[in-house]
Amino acid sequence: MYYSKLHENTALAYAKGYRVVDGIVMSPYSKEPRTLYTKMTKKHCSYKFTIKTSEGKGFGIPVHKLVAYQKFGDKAFETGTHVRHLDGDSLNNSEENIALGTPSENSFDRPHNKRKQSAIKTATAHRKFSDKECEEIRKYHEETRSYKKVMAKFNIPAKSSLRCILTTEYVTTV
C-alpha cells in the first residue's frame, strides 16, 4: 500500500514539474530550491519534501525516489527494486550517485565497517551469551579441553556455536 501511494505521489510531483538538479529539489512555482526536511530511520537518514496531493493533503516525497523516477521512470518502483546511493551517502542525491539494484547491491554500497557494525548489532540482539559469559566459557575450555563438558555446563547446543565462541568470532565490537 505505502509503495503504491509513494509511487503515485512521486509521479504526481514529477507531473507537477518538480525536478532534482545536482541533488537540489526545484519547484515549478519558484526559482528558489524547495526546503527539505530530514527523515531519520534506524538504518539511515534521507531528505524529503512535501507536496499537496490531489486530495489536498500533504505528502512527503523522498528526494532519492524522485531522482530515481526522473532517471528510470516506473522501473524505480518495481517490487524488489531498491534505489541505491552508489557512494553509500544517503544524503547525496545527485543523479550520478543514484542507481537501481537489488537489496543486496544496496547493502554493499555501504562502507564495509558500517555493514560489519550492523551485522554485529543484529547478531548481538539475538545472541545467547554476553562477552563476560564468553570469557568464562573460554576459560573453562582451557581448563577442561573438552567440548562435551563445556557444552553441557553452559547449555551450548552445537559444536559450531562453541567453536565460534572459542575462536572469538562471537564478538560485539568491530
| Phi, psi for 62 (deg, rounded to 5) | -65, 130
What are 83-135's pLDDT values in tens digits? Answer: 999 998 899 999 999 999 998 898 888 888 888 887 777 777 777 888 889 89
* Residues with Cβ within 8 Å of residue 83, at least 6 apart in sequence: 64, 65, 67, 68, 76, 98, 99, 100, 106
What are 43-67's pLDDT values in tens digits? Answer: 778 999 999 887 889 999 999 999 9
Predicted TM-score of the model (pTM): 0.69
pLDDT of residue 12: 94
- The matching CATH number, chosen from 1.10.150.120, 1.10.540.10, 3.90.75.20, 3.30.1280.10, for 2-110 is 3.90.75.20
Residue 123 near residue 114 (C-beta atoms within 8 A): no
Sequence spans of domains, the chain: 2-110, 124-166
Distance of CA 6 to the CA centre of its chain: 18
Residue 76 near residue 82 (C-beta atoms within 8 A): no
Looking at this protein, which amino acid is placed at residue 33? Answer: P
Residue with cell string 530511520: 41
pLDDT of residue 2: 53
* Residues with Cβ within 8 Å of residue 23, at least 6 apart in sequence: 63, 67, 92, 93, 94, 97
pLDDT of residue 174: 47
Rounded mean pLDDT, 61-80: 95
